[in-house]
């Protein structure tokens, strides 16, 4: 049974910090060079989404996940995802906007980016600095996991 959530996003968007929270772990934060399998997550390097030649690794890695979280950094809403990219995955894809507390003027841009990627609402806006929105995301993920196990 698939039990992990794959986390995808550009470099410095908060993937490893979010993975630590979802795993209830304290792994040192440093640039992720390789895929890291945690208790509940699959933390992917930012370079995998920033280089189109690496997309195939993301798609292959997602085969072991029941859910994919795609992160957009509100402080730096750079376009790294190709349009419709979420549709390449066979499991559900959830949109997460990180760094909610930074650059509020980019909130609309971040939501538009998630829509272009092909992710449907709900979107989760979180701050990993003070954990705003993280509880709602965790509750949602728990419900998703329970429903995926009953199917």
Give the residue numbers spanning the domain of 62: 4-150
Packed helices 134-150 and 15-23: angle between N→C axes, nearest 10 degrees: 60
Ranges of residues in the chain with a pLDDT under 70 are 1-2, 27-32, 148-151
Contacts (Cβ under 8 Å, ≥6 apart) of 17: 29, 128
pLDDT at 100: 93
What is the structure's pLDDT at 145? 80
Q: What is the CATH number of the domain that holds 68?
A: 3.40.50.300
The overall pTM is greater than 0.85? yes
10 CB burial (10 A radius; 0-12, 13-18, 19+) = buried
Q: Is there a contact between 110 and 77 (Cβ–Cβ < 8 Å)? A: yes
Asked if 5 contacts 66 with a C-beta cutoff of 8 angstroms, the reply is yes
Report how many domains make up the chain: 1
What local confidence, expressed as pLDDT, does residue 32 receive? 60
Give per-residue pLDDT as tens, 70-102.
999 999 988 999 999 999 999 999 999 999 999
- Please tell me the predicted confidence (pLDDT) of residue 149: 67
């Amino acid at each position: 049974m698939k039990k992990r959530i794959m986390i995808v996003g550009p470099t410095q968007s908060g993937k490893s910090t979010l993975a630590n929270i979802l795993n209830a772990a304290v792994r040192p934060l440093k640039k992720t060079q390789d895929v890291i399998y945690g208790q509940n997550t699959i933390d992917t390097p930012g370079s995998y989404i920033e280089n189109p030649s690496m997309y195939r690794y993301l798609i292959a890695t997602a085969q072991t996940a029941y859910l994919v979280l795609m992160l957009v950094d509100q402080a730096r809403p750079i376009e790294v995802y190709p349009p419709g990219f979420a549709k390449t995955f066979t499991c559900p894809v959830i949109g997460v906007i990180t760094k909610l507390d930074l650059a509020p003027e980019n909130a609309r841009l971040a939501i538009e980016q998630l829509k272009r990627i092909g992710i449907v609402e709900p979107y989760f806006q979180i701050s990993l600095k003070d954990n705003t929105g993280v509880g709602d995301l965790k509750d949602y993920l728990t419900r998703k996991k329970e429903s995926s196990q009953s199917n």
